[in-house]
Amino acid sequence: MISRSNYIKKLQKATNRSPITALLGPRQCGKTTLARMFSRKQKTTFFDLESQPDVRRLQNPELVFSSLTGLVVLDEIQNQPSLFNVLRVMVDRPDNQARFLILGSASPDVVRNVSETLAGRVEFIELSGFNLFEIGPDRYNNLWVRGGFPRSYLAPSDEDSIAWREGFIRTFLERDIPQLGIRIPSQAMRRFWNMMAHHHGNTWNASLIGRAMGLNDKTVRSYLDILTGTYMIRQLQPWYENLGKRQVKSPKIYIRDSGLLHGLLNLADQHTLLGHPQVGASWEGFVLEHLISTLDLSESYFWATHSGAEIDLLFFYKGRRYGAEIKFTEKPRPTKSIRAAIQSLNLEHVWIIYPGEHTYPIDDKISVLPISDSNAIYGQLE
């Protein structure tokens, strides 16, 4: 079993200081396994809200919760939204002796009760699939091709892995989306998701997508928001300010898990991937997700101007601005675009992340860094 010690530490801190901790992330990313690992050494009561016996146990939830102490885990909380009001009542009682860990497969924006009903009482932790820190930096190729979902990454063969991903996509569209109360034909959402895979790494253009699907801008925007709220798509927001330049103000769209991207594009192995026109965009999205997850970035952006200057990832640390540029090449070089971003945005440093082996500085503002050594960014930030 792959250790997820960093998330265990996050859970320990959050449950110690907050009455409710919400562990959120896509289905099948390991939330339940992580919760069981975390709860092994403490008194825990576990409720699976997709299990009918557990649902029946909670027919009178306030009575049940009032008798519990220690950690109470509620898995797939989005299936029972009525419990949010009960949790608010319970944690506000002075005699409450339980801490609650709720697991969900939809963001607070989708399960609005989490952020509204439990405001000031809940701490959020977002769980993604496996990352390089967990599996080892020398295994990044396999993680890139198969993605971070545990059953996909750990599958005995590439054939088994791609079969699992296809089953996941079908189940997600036919069962998980309807369970959230969203009534959209699975075929229409599958077509939209496939289209997003072909636009992976590009800026969002609702009119272009709408025309291609024969739908209006509002409808395709709602499709995008659904896949974003269920952790399937990342909308990387643009950063813009008054610079006297025309800047891009639409988000960039990425399929968050590289394995699902490759499944949607029918890329079953690395050989097929390397010969595909989307290989560079796939690499960009893979590295982007890795950096956002492992650097624990609460805010992340890209920056681009209509004249061509851009930076793939812009983030802030202790009031300073930093950037990352992602290149799928053996010999990355600093470009005019990178230097323009440094000057226009007053960036402290930019790392060029690539799939090679050597780390070296270009100058005092730019370094080249292999993805296998991307944890070195921590040291340079301090």
Residues 114-163: pLDDT tens digits? 767 788 889 999 999 999 889 988 889 999 999 999 999 999 999 999 99
Condensed to tens digits (0 to 9), the pLDDT of residues 251-260 reads 999 999 999 9
Please state, in angstroms and rounded to a whole number, the distance separating the CA atoms of residues 130 and 14: 21
DSSP letter at 242? S
Give me the percent of the chain exceeding a pLDDT of 90. 75
pLDDT value, residue 11: 96
d(CA 75, CA 358): 43
Contact in structure between 22 and 104 (CB atoms under 8 Å): yes
- For 141-178, give the DSSP string: HHHHHH-S-HHHHT-SSHHHHHHHHHHHHHHIIIIIHH
Tokens of 191: 């077509």
Going by the DSSP 8-state scheme, the letter that residue 201 receives in this structure is T
Distance separating the N- and C-terminal Cα atoms of the chain: 32
Residue 234 class from Cβ within 10 Å (0-12 exposed, 13-18 middle, 19+ buried)? buried
Nearest by Cα to 259 from 135, 168, 139 = 168
Distance CA 34, CA 4 (A): 8
- Quote the tokens at residue 135: 């599996």
Sheet with 44-48: strands ordered across: 44-48, 70-75, 98-104, 20-24, 122-126
Reported pTM: 0.93
DSSP 350: E
Fold of the 5-126 domain = Rossmann fold (3.40.50)
| pLDDT reading at 323 higher than 90 | yes
- The alpha-helical segments, DSSP class H, found in 154-278 are 158-171, 177-179, 186-198, 206-213, 217-229, 258-264, 270-274
- Of the pLDDT bands very low, low, confident and very high (cuts 50, 70, 90), residue 249 is very high
Q: How much is the pLDDT for 262?
A: 98
Reference 226, options 105, 128, 113; nearest CA is 105
What lies within 8 Å, CB to CB, of 212 at 6+ separation is 195
- Kindly indicate the confidence band of residue 109, based on its pLDDT and cuts at 50, 70 and 90: low
Q: Note the pLDDT of residue 381.
A: 81
Question: How high is the pLDDT of residue 276?
Answer: 95
Q: Determine the average pLDDT of the residues in 347-365.
A: 94
Determine the pLDDT at residue 113: 66
pLDDT in tens, 54-105: 999 999 999 999 999 999 999 988 888 889 889 999 999 998 999 999 998 8
pLDDT of residue 294: 86
Region 9-36: what's the mean pLDDT?
Answer: 94
Task: Please state, in angstroms and rounded to a whole number, the distance separating the CA atoms of residues 319 and 163.
Answer: 45
Instruction: Give me the residue spans of the domains in the chain.
Output: 5-126, 134-381
What pLDDT is attached to residue 210?
A: 94
Question: Which residue's structure tokens are 């253009």?
Answer: 205
Q: Are 79 and 102 in contact (CB under 8 A)?
A: no
For residue 369, what pLDDT is reported? Answer: 94
**For residues 322-340, average pLDDT:** 93
pLDDT band (50, 70, 90) for residue 245: confident
**Gap between the Cα atoms of 259 and 323, Å rounded:** 25
Q: Residue 275 burial by CB count (10 A; 0-12/13-18/19+): exposed, middle or buried?
A: exposed
> Taking all residues of the chain, what is their mean pLDDT, rounded to a whole number?
92
Query: Is the dihedral angle over the CA atoms 296, 122, 320, 229 positive or is it negative?
Result: positive
User: Is pLDDT at 340 greater than 80 in this prediction?
Assistant: yes
